[in-house]
Structure 1
């Protein structure tokens, strides 16, 4: 019981979370304000792009950002709405309506909280690098395609939930030359961001681009569609309406959202830990905190939240050392809602689309893709398959299949490194040695390599005694042990006496349980050293002659 309580305490905030605040509070304050400026346009854009509105995106950045900062497992993680989440939520909005998002946020949040409690935080470490890069590139492509309607001034209603199909439908519906105006706004945002990033690195280029384009649009009396009216305060928390049928229909989408929250948040926290020495990351607590953040966001009418890699990186590089920076970021966004809601409401949707298109383009790194493809055919195939399934099917399915493909290639490589090799008998030759076969079994004897071992040894002819050297066998699973038992039984039926040498202590229990030892003609045919086994084999040949 005490260990359970200690485990639960490790998921809760403590004084150690703010250990560096006395010396680093200035850096935290500056970093929090900086990342708040960066997060504002992204929060608005992700809310609009997901179909639930700019208000929901802003609420998520504030509420979830604050809760995750306090309860999360990283000292510098910044959380809120993200592009990957938009990709998952957009089809949910199309199928179930905007009201379902808050319910999904609650359901997914509780799942992620449970994952933290049950210590599943280390699971993300099993996702291979090519899968992560393929997943990220696929998300970037989808986000870019999702902005096509806003970039062309087309109402995004009645389109397919698949981003590729929806983008094509938009292109066929666009009204020319009216579409040139929103396209010009998108191009202006992209150009401003490129120039600022080139000549003023570190400056919040997305915020500046939206500000400039919005001011120009207002001064010119442009008819570009804008965000519209935003509330001047946060709504009161309330439980969204739902029923049993709704919960059943949303169970699958909620599980997909929960998986995405866990994967993206843990990856983001891991990336942050590599940028600067900002303290350890508690993966289980990160899940716990991100789950609570999504629950809180859902209660306020927001979206599910995850750790945001780009904003977290800005936070760290701006000098953040404690979670106070992420708290300041959330409070800065709250101040925008309280003071500047009417101004924010005038931002053109095309300007937000431009920001997201630039964000998406940066997610698709050609240099990273080149590195993946140059690292081997298996990595390239894993990357490509993950990317294609991400774009064409589903994000979580893509990760699952990507991991399965990577596992297949890894097992194939492991299997190719395993096998049985016939070796010459040591020492001086004796009469009848040609009827004795010494096999070195090495590597891994598992379900992917067991058949190859059986074929290699069974194909030998003219053998009366077979010695199996297992001392170099590193891994053996149930399939391998069962195949080995079947091999021994088959050889003994053919009149071949089998001797086994060098069974490692940690393999012995499995071999005994699956009948490998029992399948030997005599229990004394098990040896620790090669010399006694060879003496026994030669004695057997002499007696049989």
Structure 2
């Protein structure tokens, strides 16, 4: 069984079963994605601090490895804005060379997570956290481009909001005219060209046009600079033992982000394509191998890219051949067009990312969440603010923690105990019997309130605890029940327990709830026998009191 499960994490013939019927559409879709991915790969490479060449190498190597070994047939992997945001402080503190080590370490962590079947945990990330996280990334990517356009840029590692403010504060506006004009042209073309024909690769066309104009008119625009004309040979980076512990922390953050973004992207791909064949654990293994391969070739850590995956699906991609074709197309750029690509103005790439960042922000989802509940709105806003001002991973962790607190509070409010009237023909003994029904979840969040609500006041001689509507119970809740039973029995009140679900019985016995009863026969499956026993107990007690007065 375990061997079969491990085989499910590896490629197989079934991955390419549909290629014979879809290969033409897949090749066309892959070429389309390659055209769209080219400017993004260059731009995200620059944004990460590693350079345009690293972004392009990552798109080729990581995209190909993830296509073969990943868990989705249509997922496109490569450098992304979210990952670039995480990598900037790592480059600023440890240098570009550290990215290879971080990528390989993160890849190993991802593969281990996949083997341990942790892919399903993505379902535990609440929707407001995802929306706030995505919105925060969009804001960060936009802010990162401001220094690239206006200059001068702060040191790598400076928070994007601070760097953008400094760039605005110290900008040479006379020199910034040409970069701003390039941004305006690129954004204008990207907004207007789709109105004419949606099939036009607008970002590539806009960048080519601005690059040609910049060359012909000798415009004073900063360029990407030299990129390799061939793929570098793989190598294992040198590891400084003294630095390894620090890089492990960075690698954990990179692995967490890669897992979250890749699994979310793959899940979106399922919705877009209507193809339910998606293995989240294999996706983690594939992304881990992609990060390792990218680091070995001098690239940066990669993740699944939602925008490029969506383009692949909408262009007709249905099998892994489309994603493989995307990487081959980018490989052709390295070998055949590295010279022209090196002359692309950085402000043109910044414009592409600015518009991409704005489109990343889920305005409609955010509006829906903000109008839903105050707790969900708070989770979204807090996650977004922490993403922008502090750290992406901490934002997700904090968002999940806050969402969990709100969820626990809601569960606790819907759980508890209430006193019920006795639903049976009246009997004089009923005045000395109290029936309490436990509802919802008996857990640490509701235990203290239940303790305060279960009382035996006045002439109450018997308390019946009804469990039939209790859905869940934890050790804290069971222990609180045991303490309630002991306290009532010490007061001379007989406790009867009715309708304990079988799934809770073992916990109640082990914690001592059943043992706290005065008699083991005080445990009942249904209410009528429990009520009859309670009434007979009250009658016997009344006879004893009468006899003592004679």
Q: Please, what TM-score do these two structures have when normalized by structure 2? A: 0.97
Tell me the residue number matched to 1:472. 469
Of stretches 169-178 and 356-365 in structure 1, the one that deviates more from structure 2 is 169-178
* Aligned partners of 1:511 and 1:517 also within 8 Å: yes
Instruction: Give me the whole-angstrom Cα distance separating, in 1, the residues matched to 2:16 and 2:418.
Output: 60
Local SS of the residue matching 2:419: strand
2:114 corresponds to 1:116: yes
Write out per-residue CA displacement over residues 195-250 of structure 1, whole angstroms, 9 at most, x where no aligned residue: 12333224221111111111111111111110011111011111112211121111
Q: How far apart are the structure 1 equivalents of 2:362 and 2:120?
A: 26
Q: Does 1:253 align with 2:250?
A: yes
Q: Where in structure 1 are there 5+ consecutive unaligned residues?
A: none
Question: What is the aligned partner in structure 2 of residue 281 from structure 1?
Answer: 278
1:292-371 pair list within 5 angstroms: 292-371=289-368
1:517 aligns with 2:514: yes
Unaligned runs of 5+ in 2: 543-550
Q: What does residue 422 of structure 1 align with?
A: 419
Structure-1 separation of matches of 2:475 and 2:200: 58
Asked if structure 1 preserves the Cα contact closer than 8 Å seen for 2:178 and 2:220, the reply is no
Deviation at 1:155, TM superposition (A): 3.6
From 59, 62, 72, the equivalent of 1:61 is 59
The answer (yes or no) to whether the contact 1:159–1:169 under 8 Å persists in 2 is no
Q: How many residues align?
A: 542
Note if contact 1:182-1:224 (Cα within 8 Å) is conserved in structure 2: yes
The separation in 2 between residues aligned to 1:277 and 1:360, in whole angstroms, is 27
- Please name the residue that 1:432 is paired with: 429
Q: Distance in 2 between matches of 1:328 and 1:374?
A: 43
Equivalent in 125, 128, 135 of residue 126 of structure 2? 128
What's 1:52 paired with? 50
Partner of 2:212: 215
Q: 1:459 to 1:211 in 2, by over 3 A?
A: farther
Mapping of residues 11-410 of structure 1, within 5 Å? 11-152=9-150, 154-158=151-155, 161-410=158-407
Aligned residue for 2:129, secondary structure, equals helix
Offset at residue 386 of structure 1 (A): 0.8
CA deviation map 1:303-342 (0-9, x unaligned): 0000000000000010011000000000000000100000
Distance 1:529 1:22 in 2: 63
1:140-182 deviation digits (Å, cap 9, x = unpaired): 0011011111111x14242652111121122222112111221
Instruction: Report if the CA contact (8 A) 1:75-1:279 is conserved.
Output: no
Question: How far apart in 2 are the matches of 1:160 and 1:338?
Answer: 32
Residue 522 and residue 166 in structure 1: after superposition, are their counterparts in 2 closer, same or farther (change >3 A)? same
CA drift of 1:539 comes to 1.4
- Give the structure-1-normalised TM-score: 0.98
Partner of 2:546: none
For residues 103 and 517 of structure 2, the distance between their equivalents in structure 1, rounded to whole angstroms, comes to: 59
Quick check: 1:79–1:306 contact (8 Å CA) kept in 2? yes
Instruction: Answer whether contact 1:33 1:329 (CA < 8 A) is retained.
Output: yes
Aligned to 1:442: 439
Q: Which runs of 4+ in 1 moved over 6 A?
A: none
Q: In angstroms, what is the RMSD of aligned CA positions?
A: 1.2
Aligned residue for 1:537? 534
Give SS of 1:213's match. Answer: helix
Mean CA deviation greater in 190-199 or 30-39: 190-199
